[in-house]
Amino acid sequence: MDNNELKTKIINAYGGEDFWKTIKQIEAEISVKGLAFTLKRRPFFKNMTICMDIARPFSKITPIGKNLNISGILDGQNVRLENKKGEVITERKNARKYFPLGRRLFWWDDLDMAYFANYAFWNYFTLPALLLNKEIKWTEISENTLQAEFPNSIPTHNKI
């Protein structure tokens, strides 16, 4: 099976290309806990709401930390915290450059968590749309296994 056939097979399993080209957003309720939260001194996610754009890396988790009135927002490479009125509390431009240096090895603040959790969930939830993204180079490295090479414009765990 070639690269395009495998991508089509995967996209079809998630509703098909037409579906992923027509929807604009995904909204979900998430609950997550685990050792990573404990190690970074973060509260677990319990019944949090996440809203994500499909076509671009934009995602909003509410709440992002202990304060239930604060949302963490990923907008491209930048991250910010907003209150319920949509007012910016604080922001960090080019958030990726702050990882993994210094205190981030030991604990994360709300901006760190907002950056990491939003781009990770955005990557997971929008996978079929990412398969259609012309900026990402997809290569079939073995049978039924694709490898992605992400451009710098898309936040992700690893470029490859």
- The predicted pLDDT at position 2 comes to 66
Q: What is the mean pLDDT of the chain?
A: 93
Burial 70-100 (b: 16+ CB within 10 A, else e): bbbbbbebbbbbbeeeeeeeeebeebeebee
Share of the chain above pLDDT 70, in %: 99
Q: pTM for the complete prediction?
A: 0.92
107, with CB counted inside 10 A (0-12, 13-18, 19+), is exposed
Q: Would you kindly state where each structural domain of the chain is located, as residue ranges? A: 23-126
Closest CA to 81 of 38, 57, 110: 110
Structure tokens at 102: 């210094």
Reported confidence tier of residue 98, pLDDT bands at 50, 70, 90: confident
Given a cut of 70, is residue 82 above it in pLDDT?
yes
Report the 3 state secondary structure along 29-41.
EEEECCHHHHHCC
Q: Are 90 and 80 in contact (CB under 8 A)?
A: yes
**Is the model's pLDDT at 1 over the cut of 80?**
no
Q: How far apart are CA 141 and CA 144, in angstroms?
A: 8
**pLDDT digit string, tens, across residues 43-76:** 999 999 999 999 999 999 999 999 999 999 999 9
